[in-house]
């Protein structure tokens, strides 16, 4: 991380007095708490640069952490909690974008690039392999004949 980002994160982090995950937020049920942590790591702190709410010190992140835990305690599944948050804050809140028409290009970019690379390699191979069989150009043949003549004459 460059120092500019560092600077910014820190400025953001200190602009409010609240904390990253603090003991009073932690749920007594370890299974629920573990799910809450997993969910938090995938949710973006909206006022920060590029932090999950799990890492962030911002007030809003704390609110979201509490909201996640509230929903979990109310019996929501992970997907339901995620949907609940997305309904209120938009898809921007998800650090891992959902697969959909608007993110299709994003998700298939890497496999597509790999495929294009492979096809390009195969094509390039065919192209370089061919001249080998093409034999000599007239100029090359002339030079060769010349050389042969020279040798024979000697």
Partner 1 sequence: MSIELGHFSLILAFAISLVSAFGGLLLWRRGERLALVLGQAAVLQFVLVAVAFLALVQAFVVSDFSLALAANHSHSLKPLIYKISGVWGNHEGSMLLWILILVLFGALVAAFGRRLPSDLASLVLGTQSLLVTAFAGFTLLTSNPFERLAVPPLEGADLNPILQDIGLAIHPPLLYAGYVGFSICFSFAVAALISGRIDQAWARWVRPWTMLSWVFLTLGIAMGSYWAYYELGWGGWWFWDPVENASFMPWLAGTALLHSALVMEKRNALKIWTIFLAIITFSLSLLGTFLVRSGILTSVHTFASDPTRGLVILSILAILIGGAFLLFAMRAPMLRQGGLFAPISREGALILNNLFLATAVGAVLVGTLYPLVLDALTGTTISVGAPFFDFTFGALMAPLLLVLPFGPLLAWKRADLVAAGQRLMGMAALAVFLAVLISALGGVSISLAPFGLLLGFWVSLGSVAELIERAKIGRIPLGESLRRLAGLPRSIWSTAIGHLGLGLTVLGIVSVSAWETEIVTTLNPGETTELAGYSIAFDSFEQIPGPNYLADTGIFTVTAPGGGTARLDAERRIYVASGTPTTEAAIQTYGLSQLYLQLGEPLDDTHVIRVWHKPYILLIWIGCLVMSGAGILSLTDRRLRLGAPQRARKAAPEAAS
Q: Rule CB under 8 A: which residues touch partner 1?
A: 1-10, 14, 17, 19-24, 26, 41-42, 44, 49-52, 55, 90-97, 102-103, 105-106, 109-110, 113-114, 117-118, 121, 125, 128-129, 132
Nearer to partner 1, 132 or 151 (CB): 132
| Nearest-approach distance from CB 153 to partner 1, in angstroms | 26
Minimum distance of partner 1 from residue 9's CB (angstroms): 6
User: Which of 51, 61, 59 has the alpha carbon at shortest distance from 5?
Assistant: 51
State the nearest-atom distance from the C-beta of 38 to partner 1, in Å.
10
Q: How far is the CB of 143 from partner 1 (least distance, A)?
A: 15
If one counts every other C-beta atom within 10 angstroms of the C-beta of residue 58, the result is: 23
For residue 107, the Cα-to-chain-centroid distance in whole angstroms is: 9
Q: Which is nearer to partner 1, 115 or 142 (CB)?
A: 115
Handedness of CA 134, 144, 142, 139 (dihedral sign): positive
Closer residue to partner 1 in complex, CB, 55/70: 55
Q: Which is nearer to partner 1, 10 or 73 (CB)?
A: 10
Nearer to partner 1, 109 or 142 (CB): 109
Instruction: State the nearest-atom distance from the C-beta of 138 to partner 1, in Å.
Output: 18
């Amino acid at each position: 991380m460059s120092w500019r980002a560092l600077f910014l994160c820190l400025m953001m982090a200190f602009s409010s007095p609240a904390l990253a995950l603090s003991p009073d937020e932690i749920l007594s049920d370890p299974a629920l708490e573990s799910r809450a942590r997993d969910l938090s790591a995938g949710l973006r702190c909206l006022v920060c640069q590029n932090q999950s709410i799990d890492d962030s010190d911002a007030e809003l992140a704390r609110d979201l952490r509490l909201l996640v835990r509230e929903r979990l305690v109310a019996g929501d599944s992970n997907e339901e909690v995620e949907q609940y948050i997305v309904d209120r804050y938009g898809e921007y809140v998800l650090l891992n974008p959902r697969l959909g028409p608007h993110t299709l290009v994003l998700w298939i970019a890497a496999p597509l690039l790999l495929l294009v690379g492979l096809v390009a390699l195969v094509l390039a191979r065919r192209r370089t392999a061919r001249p080998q069989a093409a034999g000599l150009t007239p100029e090359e043949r002339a030079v060769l004949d010349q050389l042969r003549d020279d040798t024979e004459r000697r």
